Structure 1
């Protein structure tokens, strides 16, 4: 079954999935083995389907060699031991996980029959140990004979409780037959170890999934007994079957059937790795086990022991995991004091080392995805990202949210907006998984397998909510989630970079590591936390920015068109005044040039209105804290504010709702003007790519398509048909 770890059922078509089932049956595996593997395909897996198909697989000639080849196709490599040799299907491939007992060195532990035979006490002790008095108990004393002359158990009884049976047995004067019915002493009797609902004996009739049966009849009884005890299985009752095996009734304490199956799979896996060849047919929770207190062909079926090993499933499970934690041994500092290991080289200088983790957190509209694309490009080209130098190398961008064409276009748009030559496109790989994403604990091994030989120095996952497992407010569940990033870092030697959203509410008054949504594990786990928070732009500041953009365009145009006039008449003070520069432009520029300049100024002013301002803060584990960085986000890229105009703006802090609303209140006319200007700017920007769509405007403006549709209606100057938007002709 180890080979199947290399074959992901979610990547197989229907016929390939059927082929795996046929090969497993041909090699002597069970339908349960096939179903357990098939459950890894969460989207197509249907409970019970494997068992239905299994009965139709007969003599197809498909062997384990087919699975071996599939495993090779998906990354499994042959091993060598002195010489190159391909492992056969029957070869045992094991690792040391959960191996506690070396069966070759186990000393057998003898089993002794009771010195005083008291059948009623044997059975009542069993019932008192396993059942509550109100639990219905299933048992069988009658048999039927098949064609081979073998006696098999009938369905038996299930309509009496443990309390009723114990009371009747205690009054029977040792005559168990008067309570249960007479059994055939040549074949013995059976009992079901889980309580029933009183309506039948199928798995559906199990009312409480308390126990599982562990049985192995392919080794000495004494060794079976010793291994079960050394494994410290949480055994409620240990029963001698009267023949070749011991029946261990193990505490499972499962919440439901699904949980029961998972725990039994885990239990059987541990037992098999420690030398017990388990009978897989005993997995069912309604399975019959040997009843203590009866005889079988001259031998007694009796209780060997009760309540041994660990006290509960949870205690045993934690013990097994602790023994096999794969943690390194402690090291003495004296061994390395004079020969310290080299630190990992930087990926982002002054921020993040290779093989470490980074989280980018921020609210919606911050352009986090664009920032990560900018980072991907900066690493690929060995350029600067938000002012930090990046090491040049290969990067894998895991796209979980965008459809494939949109993702590819974004990379090209960002390259163009940065005005960088795409000299190292081969350094960027994009793994498009929209609609195919799986939880991170399932994605991590798939990612590692695909990236193992690619030499990526960074893996960027965007966004993580698509692969989030568990409750993001649960510290232990989020610790398990973030541990998957450690696995990727360790196996690939690359950095893992991902983004997460802010919690609801105003963030300005919080520390950077307290702004991320969910458990504090998110912020405290990565080696570098980069946090984005929006800076609120006042009308005065916006007006100042508009004036600066306009005067700059006027100055550049006049200087290029008529340098002598610019040098003689345009003073430094004039260059700070829009009205003065407009007057100079009218005097010095031809009419056609003036019209172009004014159109360029209108575009620049609109651009100022739609861009947003942001502050970058961070918490670093490997480097000193950096000074906050102020930047603009103008679709589709971020640009550092090198003018210092954003330096003194404070992020919005917590204050009463009435005060915030009062300070921000605008007239209806101001709101409509601002919305119209934003729509016009967005339309002009989106026409760069050709036809303008409702979706492209929505993405550019950071609002929903419904909001864009309402603003188009209120504007009056645009039409919209089948999702395409156009400007109405001037009347």
Structure 2
């Protein structure tokens, strides 16, 4: 066997094979073989599942495990053991990839001060009454009950073990017959038993067809038993823990059997609740026999003599009334919340507030959510924020503190993420002076639920002194139903743990719900439970603006003018100072004329390519309004921004101020317009043609193709509108005004 940190066969003591799926059982075998264990180790453990174990099956399966490029390792068994109650020793190892953040300590008993509780045998021994009380407490009259009266002596284990037993009689039938027995002759109803072995009974109802887990009809109870704690301390712990015990039975040997109310709706919930129950018991000094997890497990039957002692019913319905009440009590006792403090203690000596991370928006160590639809460029906005913090610059209009940032990339492949950062730096025009402040954790294809990601993040980041962790996007680590308040509260609590443990801000983004968002408040737009909007200290919300054709044409003209100016400066800088005025720089047609005069013919293709690129870019411009809900700062006036791939730019000129958010217009405003007359429509077409020709014409020829591209219509439509206009003519594809004559060549 190869050297390992942990003995995996000891960890398997915590894992009941009967509770695993077939694939999980196979995974255990593969992990054991990978780590150098033997088929005998796997077979010995597998025998605990008497319902599914077949001699020789493990050996045959073992021979098929030939290894893969992605082998199942001992970490799989380690994780299974943790999920079933095993707790690593204190300081046994650092958190690794498979660890989860521990729950609050569930310990409520100090065993150093616990006094044992004596077990009192029954004064009046009535076997039939013991059994009928047990049956009437646990079962409905129509429930089928499994019980075993016959046993055999196992030489290997040196003890008596139960045979298959009976399972085809109901609790009502058994109670009726037991009430009729004389002189305590329960054997006349249940069958005789051997005093050396005693007798057993199953505590969950069956279907009358078998005794396997699949034959359990309701997951009402679980067995809590320990052979390693002395009896009086067992009794004391079971009472101190206030377990919702339906029946407490002395086994006649080394243990007390507590039949605990689980009240699970299905097998999955049963497993989770039993895991929790066993974890609480273990943390309070009650070492559990983990083989008892099986819902069809046998327990000791009261009213039976075992050797020289009696198996008897110690109590019924003690502790908390039901599972829900007990669970709430346990969680309440161990909330680890601070005690209330009087305001007088701090009134004259107030603690310092955390310094701002984003001025007027978010403090260091707090949480922020950026919400918006998919096309808002949220990931780019978070990269812009990462850079702003790293460089100590403004994010949009808000100054940021400077420091180290961890950007958790869950969506992009590594190369794309790195290129995106470089592209955003370039578009912002920032020199990479402080890129050493940015760490990128690329987890695409390796992301895990947030409750498992949090400890891994904390372990990797605890010595890095990050002032912010940015997680993008959270849907990759989302656990539970996003519309469930309690599940989302648990999910968002993981961000609190990261912020608390690392002392840094946690910033993440989430998508809007479907449908129009303009008519909603900012905190109602995020998809899922309202917990998303109410949990963070700052909610920054993006909503798209409806942009008019006129506004977009203005943006296109401005972008083209700036491009011409840039190109002229590159090829003929003196021309700019000598010939181009401030007013000229605002006219697309004038700047086009300057470009033709100033730029050499051989460089014109480069200019045309640049103009084409800027036209394509402007077509993708979108306008956005950022609103916010803040916990620590006054509400800020909404700001308008452009998303000009790959960055967002504040609308400093105010051109977006009159644009309305998507969906804010009333239906009659958006869908109803006054019908235009044919003459009005014709006049609009003529004006549009005049405007386009004026913009394109100036000193150069204008072609049909030019007009078609500029107006966004087909060549055929251009020709039809020229004919309708009456003031233009076409000659070989070139268009000219009739009153000015044909244009001359340059």
TM-score normalized by the length of structure 2: 0.76
Closer, same or farther in 2 for the Cα pair 1:198/1:529, shift >3 Å? same
CA distance in 1, matches of 2:656, 2:375: 18
Equivalent residue pairs, number: 625
**Paired residue for 2:283?**
273
**Equivalent of 2:412, from 390, 402, 414?**
402
**Equivalent of 1:170, from 174, 179, 191?**
179
CA distance in 1, matches of 2:669, 2:321: 60
Contact 2:384 2:424 in 1 (8 A): yes
**Equivalent of 1:421, from 427, 431, 435?**
431
Moved more, 270-279 or 513-522: 270-279
Closer, same or farther in 2 for the Cα pair 1:246/1:34, shift >3 Å? closer
1:238 offset after TM fit, Å? 0.7
Contact 1:144 1:151 in 2 (8 A): yes
CA distance in 1, matches of 2:207, 2:608: 84
1:562 is the counterpart of 2:575: yes
Closer, same or farther in 2 for the Cα pair 1:156/1:551, shift >3 Å? closer
**Paired residue for 1:118?**
126
**Paired residue for 2:224?**
214
**Cα RMSD (Å):** 3.7
Contact 1:533 1:614 in 2 (8 A): yes
**Paired residue for 2:24?**
46
Aligned to 1:159, the other structure's residue is in SS state: strand
1:526 offset after TM fit, Å? 0.7
Contact 2:141 2:172 in 1 (8 A): yes
Closer, same or farther in 2 for the Cα pair 1:663/1:432, shift >3 Å? farther
1:601 offset after TM fit, Å? 4.4
1:144 offset after TM fit, Å? 1.7
CA deviation vs aligned residue, 1:189-238 (integer Å, no higher than 9, x gap): 11111112222222332222211111223344332212111110110001
1:31 offset after TM fit, Å? 5.6
1:303 is the counterpart of 2:316: no
**Paired residue for 1:722?**
none
1:164 offset after TM fit, Å? 1.0
CA deviation vs aligned residue, 1:393-443 (integer Å, no higher than 9, x gap): 111111111111111111111112122211222211111111211111121
1:563 offset after TM fit, Å? 5.7
CA deviation vs aligned residue, 1:291-349 (integer Å, no higher than 9, x gap): 11121223222111100001111211111111111111111211111111111111111
**Equivalent of 2:140, from 127, 132, 137?**
132
1:597 offset after TM fit, Å? 5.4
Aligned to 2:661, the other structure's residue is in SS state: coil
Unaligned 5+ runs, structure 1: 1-14, 61-65, 88-93, 671-710, 715-731
**Paired residue for 2:350?**
340
TM-score normalized by the length of structure 1: 0.78
1:596 offset after TM fit, Å? 5.8
**Paired residue for 2:7?**
23
Contact 1:362 1:531 in 2 (8 A): yes
CA distance in 1, matches of 2:439, 2:16: 36
Contact 2:16 2:290 in 1 (8 A): no
Contact 2:160 2:196 in 1 (8 A): no
Closer, same or farther in 2 for the Cα pair 1:47/1:258, shift >3 Å? farther
Closer, same or farther in 2 for the Cα pair 1:326/1:34, shift >3 Å? farther
**Equivalent of 2:169, from 160, 163, 177?**
160
Closer, same or farther in 2 for the Cα pair 1:160/1:145, shift >3 Å? same
**Paired residue for 2:558?**
548
1:463 is the counterpart of 2:487: no
**Paired residue for 1:696?**
none
Unaligned 5+ runs, structure 2: 43-73, 80-86, 95-101, 676-680, 686-711, 716-746
Closer, same or farther in 2 for the Cα pair 1:528/1:99, shift >3 Å? same
Mapping for residues 354-433 of structure 1, pairs under 5 Å: 354-433=364-443
1:281 offset after TM fit, Å? 2.5
Moved more, 580-589 or 104-113: 580-589
**Paired residue for 1:8?**
none
Aligned to 1:365, the other structure's residue is in SS state: helix
Aligned to 1:518, the other structure's residue is in SS state: coil
CA deviation vs aligned residue, 1:90-148 (integer Å, no higher than 9, x gap): xxxx9981111222322233322222221111110100001111111111111223337
